[in-house]
């Protein structure tokens, strides 16, 4: 690997510092990612190395069942929530990873409190779960489109912090990634969705409605990232204009989280000399 930033360096470059979050502004956060990975070639090599390491770590985690990992993936339409998930876990056994997408709540979901559909899909020990959209939609789209009274939305930041703290204290690490793209890049990607026949199914006219609300979404993201970056579950802003760099940065962070869990293969509970196989 010619030029791979350390996991710590990637953390420092992307984290929303829980202590300094009052001064946080998305406009000051890069969308390109070239300050972390100057060359795309290095990013590609780093992603490959990390995707393999993620598989090894997941295997150990599954074997020892000491804890779980929840990756919360948020970002505006076309920011690459699907693509990042696919790339970071491309070598991981599907036995140990589950991905859940959260769209408009169903009738059943809306009849419960908003965290119900999230909690029931939180990982059990040994597993990695990815949330493609998450509890944060309830302070993002719900806020921007006035789908709940402002007072209720206001209460949710602390409720989400308490929910994530509870998960953390019960053995689930929570890694939160906000995929940060520029408005220009989103414009290009939406055009691509209309132009490329294989991508047309991804286009939804409501994406254009949301694009008109760009500034309101950015503000809602800033508030959510500011108020819900905590010591137990900090937010990371991942520059997402370059797909390759985005995936490589996310993979460094996911690998770091798994390494921090220090998973090891458990003692099998027998001596090898107890058995002979003919
Ligand atoms: P997609 O991720 O492209 O499949 O789109 C899912 C859509 O569901 C997005 O427009 C989200 O904003 C929307 N969505 C997700 N969660 C909620 C929620 N709690 N309330 C209303 N809309 C939501
Ligand atoms: Mg969409």
CA distances from 83 to 73, 213, 244 (A): 11, 24, 10
Looking at residue 20, its pLDDT comes to 76
Q: Which ligand 1 atom lies nearest to the CA of residue 114?
A: 19
The model carries a pTM of 0.97
Ligand nearest to the CA of 131: 1
SS3 104: coil
Distance CA 221, CA 228 (A): 10
Distance CA 193, CA 171 (A): 40
Residue in 133, 148, 202 to alter for ligand 1 test, most ligand atoms within 8 A of Cβ: 133
Q: Which two tokens stand for residue 219?
A: 């503000």
Gap from CA of 77 to ligand 1 centroid (Å): 10
Q: Is the dihedral of CA 17, 246, 250, 133 positive or negative?
A: positive
pLDDT band at 2 (very low <50, low <70, confident <90, very high): low
DSSP string, 34-57: TTT-S-HHHHHHHHHHHHHHHHHH
Write the pLDDT tens digit of every residue in 16-61.
999 876 778 999 999 999 999 999 999 999 999 999 999 999 999 9
Domain residue ranges of the chain, discontinuous segments joined by +: 7-264
Q: Which residues contact 173 (CB under 8 A, 6 or more apart)?
A: 67, 68, 69, 70, 257, 260, 261
Residues with C-beta less than 6 Å from any ligand 1 atom: 101-105, 133, 137-138, 141-142, 147
Q: What are the strands, taking DSSP E only, across the chain? A: 68-75, 97-101, 128-132, 172-180, 235-239
Residue in 72, 137, 139, 224 to alter for ligand 1 test, most ligand atoms within 8 A of Cβ: 137
Residues with CB under 5 A from ligand 2 (ion): 77
According to CATH, the superfamily of the domain at 7-264 is P-loop containing nucleotide triphosphate hydrolases (3.40.50.300)
pLDDT band at 1 (very low <50, low <70, confident <90, very high): low
Mean pLDDT score of the chain, rounded to an integer?
Answer: 96
Gap from CA of 202 to ligand 2 centroid (Å): 7
Q: Answer whether 240's CB lies under 8 Å from 80's CB.
A: yes
Query: What's the burial of 169, exposed, middle or buried (CB within 10 Å: 0-12/13-18/19+)?
Result: exposed
Gap from CA of 7 to ligand 2 centroid (Å): 30
Is the pLDDT assigned to residue 112 strictly greater than 70? yes
Average pLDDT, integer, range 195-204: 94
Write the pLDDT tens digit of every residue in 171-181.
999 999 999 99
């Amino acid at each position: 690997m010619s030029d791979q930033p350390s996991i710590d360096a990637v953390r420092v470059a992307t984290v929303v510092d829980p202590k300094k979050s009052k001064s946080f502004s998305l406009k000051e956060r890069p969308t390109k990612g070239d300050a972390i990975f100057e060359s795309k070639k290095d990013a590609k090599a780093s992603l490959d190395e990390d995707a393999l390491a993620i598989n090894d770590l997941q295997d150990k985690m599954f074997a020892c069942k000491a804890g779980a990992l929840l990756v919360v993936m948020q970002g505006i339409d076309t920011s690459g929530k699907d693509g990042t998930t696919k790339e970071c876990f491309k070598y991981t056994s599907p036995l140990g990873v589950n991905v859940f997408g959260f769209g408009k709540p169903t009738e059943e979901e809306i009849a419960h409190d908003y965290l119900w559909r999230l909690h029931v899909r939180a990982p059990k020990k040994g597993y990695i779960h990815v949330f493609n959209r998450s509890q944060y939609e309830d302070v993002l789209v719900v806020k921007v489109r006035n789908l709940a009274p402002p007072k209720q939305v206001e209460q949710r930041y602390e409720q989400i912090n308490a929910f994530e703290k509870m998960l953390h204290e019960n053995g689930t690490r929570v890694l939160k990634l906000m995929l940060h793209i520029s408005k220009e890049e989103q414009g290009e990607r939406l055009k691509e969705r209309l132009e490329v026949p294989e991508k047309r199914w991804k286009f939804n006219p409501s994406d254009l409605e949301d694009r008109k609300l760009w500034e309101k979404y950015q503000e809602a993201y800033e508030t959510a990232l500011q108020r819900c970056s905590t010591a137990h579950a900090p937010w990371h802003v991942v520059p997402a204009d370059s797909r390759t760099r985005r995936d490589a940065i996310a993979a460094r962070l996911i690998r770091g989280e798994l390494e921090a869990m220090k998973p090891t293969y458990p003692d099998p509970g027998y001596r090898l000399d107890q058995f002979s196989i003919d």
